[in-house]
Amino acid sequence: MKKLMNDPEQIVTGFLEGLVAANREQLQRLEDTDVITRRVLKPQKVGIVSGGGSGHEPAHAGYVGAGMLDAAVAGEVFTSPGADQFLSAIQAVDQGEGVLLLVKNYNGDVMNVEMAQEMAEAEGISTEMVIINDDVAVSDVKQRRGIAGTVLVQKITGALAETGASLKEVKRVAEKTVNQTRSMSVALTPCTLPAVGQPSFDLADEEMEVGIGIHGERGVDRREVVTSEEIAKLLLDHILEEIPEQMPLALLVNGMGSTPLIEQYVLANDTIKQLEKKDRDVQHAFVGEYMTSLDMAGISLTLLALDEELSGYLQAPVQTVQWKQ
């Protein structure tokens, strides 16, 4: 394992410090926490907080800024941050209008956020949680993980909150977005945890792992590596099953951490072509590293079924480190 790092235990700290050092006018780190917030909050606005284990950079701290998150909470690599950290974030961004927590569907994240909500409630802060579970690779819907689709929910919810909408309204739109978002992934290589130094699973030279999550866990199927065209088809077949026909789409092609952009766009090309062949209208396409899994090579596809409301918030301006438009 070769990584640009110092002490493996300090990799999250290094990331957070680096992010703030490179973006001082925009971001700050709350003292004694791994919480990143906007340096200046927009007044009288519902706070939008997300977070979870690290290793998914730029998620989530890279999405803190006008039009998206107010705060991001970073845990150890692949480990949910404790409730106390979520509470610090809630306290920091609440302006009396309440706080919405956008949480990927992992047991640990949900439990820590629920605890934080209870503590916040005791302080008179109203909070709501919306759980994101876009990964169709998991058949049991209750167990479905939140993966790259998360960033689309964050984008849309953040844009709405920026308009001064109420906590209730923001929650409604976040849930609607979750309901209309589906993703699935494929890995060409496993990832290696900095503190462990061993790949999270073994994969032969000609194999790929289908239906992986973002924590180095094994997928649902292993098979020979196929072409980009075939990977696009494989993932789309699963995802489209759960996307209403006719509705226009937003597409997110997400690199898992060490897949070069040239390959991401090759896959994007095949995906868009296949969607157009099926007469699907791809209104927006995003390609890049949005939700990674350390140094995993691979890709996820996300489709979001759009209506005018969601499309509008998706197109709204955003000024974060990693997503600007």
Partner 1 sequence: MNVEQAKQWLRQTSARLSEHKDELSTLDHALGDGDHGVNMHRGFQAVVEGLDEWEDLSLSSLMQKVGSTLVSKVGGAAGPLYGTAFMRMGAAWKGIEQVNGSAWSEGLSKAVEGIAQRGKTSTGDGTLLDVWSPVAEAFTEGEPSWDNIESAAYKGMEATEEMVVKKGRGALLGEQSVGHIDPGAVSSYYLFQELANTMKAGEQ
Ligand X SMILES: Nc1ncnc2c1ncn2[C@@H]1O[C@H](COP(=O)(O)OP(=O)(O)O)[C@@H](O)[C@H]1O
Pick the closer one to Mg ion by CB: 78 or 290: 78
DSSP designation for 296: B
Partner touching 21 among ligand X, a copy of itself, Mg ion, none, CB below 5 to 8 Å by kind:
a copy of itself
- Tell me how many residues contact ligand X (CB under 6 A): 4
Q: 284 Cβ partners below 8 Å, 6+ apart?
A: 250, 251, 306, 311, 314, 315
Query: Is the N-terminal amide bond of 81 cis, ω within 30° of 0?
Result: no
SS3 label, residue 104: strand
Q: Which residues are catalytic?
A: 56, 215
Q: Return left, alpha or beta for 207; rule: phi > 0 is left, psi -120 to 50 is alpha, else beta.
A: beta
Rg of the chain over Cα atoms, rounded to whole angstroms, equals 19
Tokens, residue 87: 């509470």
Which residue's C-beta sits nearest to ligand X?
108
Which of the ranges 79-87, 124-132, 174-182, 252-260 carries the binding residues for Mg ion, by CB under 5 A? 79-87
Pick the closer one to a copy of itself by CB: 180 or 293: 293
Which of the ranges 31-39, 75-83, 141-149, 292-300 carries the binding residues for Mg ion, by CB under 5 A? 75-83
Which residue's C-beta sits nearest to Mg ion?
79
**Does residue number 107 form part of the binding site for ligand X (CB under 6 A)?**
yes
Tokens, residue 241: 């099953």
DSSP H helical ranges for the chain: 11-22, 83-93, 107-122, 149-162, 167-179, 228-240, 261-277, 308-315
DSSP designation for 95: -
- Which of 8, 108, 164, 199 lies at the binding interface for ligand X (CB under 6 A)? 108
Query: Which residues of the chain form contacts with a copy of itself (CB under 8 A)?
Result: 2-6, 11-12, 14-15, 17-19, 21-23, 54-55, 57-58, 62, 188-189, 205-206, 208, 225, 227-229, 231, 251, 253, 257-270, 272-273, 285-287, 289, 292, 294-295, 297, 299, 324-325
Query: Which residues of the chain form contacts with ligand X (CB under 6 A)?
Result: 79-80, 107-108
